[in-house]
Structure 1
Amino acid sequence: MTVAVLGSGPVGQTAALLLARWGVPVVLVDEHEARDPVGSKAICQQRDTLDVWASLGAGCLAEEGLTWTIARTFHRARELFALELPDAGSALPPFVNLSQARVEAVLDELIARQPLIDVRRGHRITGLTQPGGVVVECETAGGPRRIEADYAIACTGAHGDAVRRAVGQHLEGVSFRDLFLICDIRADLPGWAAERRFHFDPPWNPGRQVLIHPCPGSQFRIDWQVPDDYDLAAEETGGALDRRIRAITGDRPYEVVWRSVYRFHTRLVRRMRVGRVLLAGDCAHLVAPFGARGLNSGVADAENAAWKLAWVLRGEAGEDLLESYHAERHAAAVENAAVTTATMDFLVPQDDERRARRLDVLTRAAADPAVHEQVDSGRLAEPFWYADSPLTTPDPARPCAGRPARGTLPPPGPGILLPDVTVASGRLRDLARQGFLALTTPGLTVTGVRSAEIPVGGVLGARPGEAWLVRPDAYVAAVLRVGDQRAHLVPGVRGVTRVVDDVGDRADAPE
């Protein structure tokens, strides 16, 4: 029983490693013969992404990445506010900046040591069919090749048109007219190493925005919003690029390490599961990078897909479980599209009325902290909450209030990712990632799944006589109580539907 992972960027690498960890053989297919090690590309890795990688043995990524904890926002020459990121009680930083090339190199090292992963490079995908399994047609230097698998995860990125066409999908949405110039520079900028800086309408890029991210090795990633007729070659030749950079660095020496020009998009496929093919990452959804919701969301796609495919292939769940991948991750993509579209509407207002509103908000924010929430420079990446998932049993005592305030986390409950903390039984998410887990309060026993005891209160806010059922991706599926007679917990997952009866019939609640 094999899964073909199509595309070997960080999302595909993560999917392959997660599947192998669950004991599933993988064929990892990529069209490139070798990596391109140049350029920062996707640099901003969120805490929960780092957590997934650490669970695979890549904890060094959190250590190597440059940790930043403050996001500063400026309007013209004035700082409006600084947002300090919450620590959430985790040993991992809220965000690190690290080049995509370094992430890929570390994950490649893990893949090379994993006997269940068969890497096929230099395979350009030309077609895909599903005749009771998945057949992937490829062109290679040695001629056509065919790869057969039981299922596939398509991580072929924005340019994965061949796969999308084969499953009847395309990226629907909009592209933004303005361009963005990206430069990686190496320079000594004292005091900037732990801060992300966002500038609205600075004097040195009038009418547009600039974002500055620190990176390891005294490097900085700078994104300038530029007109749609921007000519990078002309700027380099005429010296304007040097003047643009020196407006930020001053007279300090600097070196341009990489530069490129991008147009940003908000585009989604309509279906992220088509038969035996699951679409993930940029193959399924493109969003503007403000808030770092691209790669981080793709890694969440990979983890969601991997455990569900593993359960199906091991006979522990029916194939209907895979439909919940679409339900959960497409909802996450829609949320990310809404958040980033609102950001782009604020960054690039499309008419005079919206431009006037933005100027009013930025002007008032300088003196009124109550207005800060209206300043949108990109809501930072966060996990998506599966409160409405078919795999989540709602708890009336812990209703999900939806998207939490910016910079905050929701209280634990059904549909919410477990806090990344240590309890008496070990690191909570490590316990969860071994399979379904029941976290029980003292005096309560549960049969049918693994269990570990948690204190009443504590980080979960657990109450006497409760058992918290946790999925293999560390999301809470349900909170159970003695006598609870709800009909289901995780539909289609064998062995887990018994837990309600076990709690109701066999557990003794403490007085």
Structure 2
Amino acid sequence: MYGGPPVVVVGNGPVGQTAALLLARWEIPTVVVDAQERREVVGSRSICQQRETLDIWDTVGAGKAIADEGVTWRVARTYYRGHELFHVEFADSSASPFPPWVNIGQARVEQLLDERIADAPLVDVRWGTTVTGITQTEDGATVETTNGTLETPYVVACAGAHGDVARDAVGATFEGRSFGDRFLICDIRCALPDRELERRFYFDPEWNPGRQVLMHPCPDSTYRIDWQVAPGFDLDRELANGDLDRRIRQIVGASDYEVVWATVYRFHSRCATTMGRGRVLLAGDCAHLMAPFGARGLNSGVADAENAAWRIAWALHGWADPRVVDEYDGERRAAARDNLAITSRTMDFLVPQSEQGWAHRRAVLERALSDPAAQAQIDSGKLYAPFRYGDDPNPVVGALHPDHTVRAAARRTSGEFLTHDNLVVRPDGHVVGLVRD
């Protein structure tokens, strides 16, 4: 059993929580530090949790609870100026205990993961602890904080978009662009039984002309609504003069409603020039930022955490050459670049940056009213799927191998885990990792 100092996880959001819980599952202790004084339960934020993300959380005992509390939406409808262009229906997979998508607010996910951490003695959470510096040596890293110094073999930095200290530690810059367009998010509690299992996307509705609106169902009769709004939009002014009420009434009609949360934001498309070097790995928003259409931010961050955790665990237990950790950067940055390419195409369609782009969007939407073939060109957000192997004999770097059962002689290595060839598997045959020679 590993007996050295704990791994330091910077950031106690869902990505950091996942990394710590997975490391604990591999019998590796962690210290999780976060600059906030306590957990803040604010707004829905990242709401769409994908099947493989639920599967990762299930390995630490939280997947079923998250899925049970969430809303499984079955239909995605797309509209243009009041006309439904098409809809897509989602079916459960008989190969998985989880549905394709579950909507549940990030704050509630954090609470459910906190409950698992409370039962994990190998995870030490330290709130109110800001990281001020990270330096590396050949054998580990020194983490300077406002509450003292931590010596650690590895750092998993899940510090969010402002994780400059961690990015500096690996010599990374945060390349990309920011979009000037602004979006309004509201969480609305309202009884709308006709929409409780539907995602709705509206292009150019008469009540938000030239822009779009996205509507998602959430637990407790709550709906997450995103409006693209005009430059200079002022939420306080809209609240004061009644415009927000009028905006919401255009969607919910005369139904009673409650505004649970409202905020204004803009999107970014950025990727760190390296996601890991030496003893420091970047994960989640600290490594990549992307527009939320398609639900790729949190889901890809959880995949980062899973990849980092098993690699660090195998290196520290001596089950693999420590160079196995070096491969994290190539794998997860390839996945990040793929996600960013997809979300950038989405944003180019949703928010064109040129007159030519706007003309193309209008033409596609107009043709789609009568030509089903044009529907394939409409991009309201390609939904997240894990970065997978291709069909050719050469695997794509960073791909997630599809689940399958291994029925062959295997060697037990530690606890419940076994190996066969280069695969790390559970006794039920579920592949949880890959070790290269």
Give the alignment's TM-score, normalised by structure 2. 0.91
- Greater C-alpha Rg: 1
Name the amino acid aligned to 2:436: P
- Contact kept? 1:436, 1:471, Cα under 8 Å: no
Q: Is 1:47 matched up with 2:51?
A: yes
Count of residue pairs the alignment pairs up = 422
Aligned match of 2:402 in 414, 418, 430?
418
Aligned match of 2:146 in 125, 139, 142?
139
* 1:77 corresponds to: 82
Q: How much has 1:418 moved relative to structure 2? A: 2.7
* 1:485 corresponds to: none
Q: How much has 1:416 moved relative to structure 2? A: 4.6
Distance 1:416 1:322 in 2: 16
Distance 2:436 2:57 in 1: 28
Aligned match of 1:300 in 263, 285, 303?
303
Structure 1 residues 273 and 252 mapped into 2: Cα distance closer, same or farther (>3 Å)?
A: same
RMSD value, Cα? 2.4
- Contact kept? 2:93, 2:99, Cα under 8 Å: no
Q: Is 1:114 matched up with 2:114?
A: no
Q: Residues 258-407 of structure 1: matches in 2 within 5 Å? A: 258-387=261-390, 396=393
Name the amino acid aligned to 1:128: I
* 2:237 corresponds to: 234
Distance 1:449 1:471 in 2: 6
* 1:491 corresponds to: 436
Aligned match of 1:214 in 213, 217, 229?
217
Farther-moved stretch of structure 1 (337-346 vs 157-166): 157-166
Distance 1:295 1:111 in 2: 19
* Partner-residue secondary structure (3-state), 2:261: strand
* 1:62 corresponds to: 67
Which runs of 5 or more residues in structure 2 are unaligned?
Answer: 408-414
Name the % identity.
55
* 1:21 corresponds to: 25
Q: How much has 1:69 moved relative to structure 2? A: 1.9
Structure 1 residues 208 and 436 mapped into 2: Cα distance closer, same or farther (>3 Å)?
A: farther
Q: Residues 467-478 of structure 1: matches in 2 within 5 Å? A: 471-473=431-433
Give the alignment's TM-score, normalised by structure 1. 0.78
Distance 1:272 1:174 in 2: 18
Farther-moved stretch of structure 1 (234-243 vs 11-20): 234-243
Q: How much has 1:162 moved relative to structure 2? A: 2.1
Structure 1 residues 316 and 231 mapped into 2: Cα distance closer, same or farther (>3 Å)?
A: same
* 2:103 corresponds to: 97
Name the amino acid aligned to 1:272: M
* Partner-residue secondary structure (3-state), 1:191: helix
Distance 1:96 1:416 in 2: 21
Name the amino acid aligned to 2:135: T
Structure 1 residues 210 and 5 mapped into 2: Cα distance closer, same or farther (>3 Å)?
A: same
* Partner-residue secondary structure (3-state), 2:373: helix
Name the amino acid aligned to 2:52: D
- Contact kept? 2:426, 2:432, Cα under 8 Å: no
Name the amino acid aligned to 1:375: I
Name the amino acid aligned to 2:336: A
Structure 1 residues 43 and 415 mapped into 2: Cα distance closer, same or farther (>3 Å)?
A: closer
Q: How much has 1:86 moved relative to structure 2? A: 4.4
Which runs of 5 or more residues in structure 1 are unaligned?
Answer: 388-393, 403-413, 426-432, 439-445, 455-469, 478-489, 493-511
Aligned match of 1:188 in 186, 191, 206?
191
Q: How much has 1:227 moved relative to structure 2? A: 2.1
Offset from partner CA, 1:394-436 (integer Å, 9 cap, x none): 974xx77x8xxxxxxxxxxx9553348xx798xxxxxxx9545
Structure 1 residues 436 and 345 mapped into 2: Cα distance closer, same or farther (>3 Å)?
A: farther
Distance 1:155 1:447 in 2: 28
Distance 2:269 2:205 in 1: 26
* Partner-residue secondary structure (3-state), 2:382: coil
* 1:248 corresponds to: 251
- Contact kept? 1:290, 1:340, Cα under 8 Å: yes
Distance 1:472 1:72 in 2: 35
Name the amino acid aligned to 2:13: G
Distance 2:424 2:82 in 1: 58
Distance 1:283 1:453 in 2: 34
Q: How much has 1:171 moved relative to structure 2? A: 1.6
- Contact kept? 2:403, 2:431, Cα under 8 Å: no
- Contact kept? 2:14, 2:302, Cα under 8 Å: yes
Q: How much has 1:437 moved relative to structure 2? A: 4.6
Q: How much has 1:361 moved relative to structure 2? A: 1.0
Offset from partner CA, 1:340-376 (integer Å, 9 cap, x none): 0000000011112111111111112222222222110
* Partner-residue secondary structure (3-state), 2:267: strand
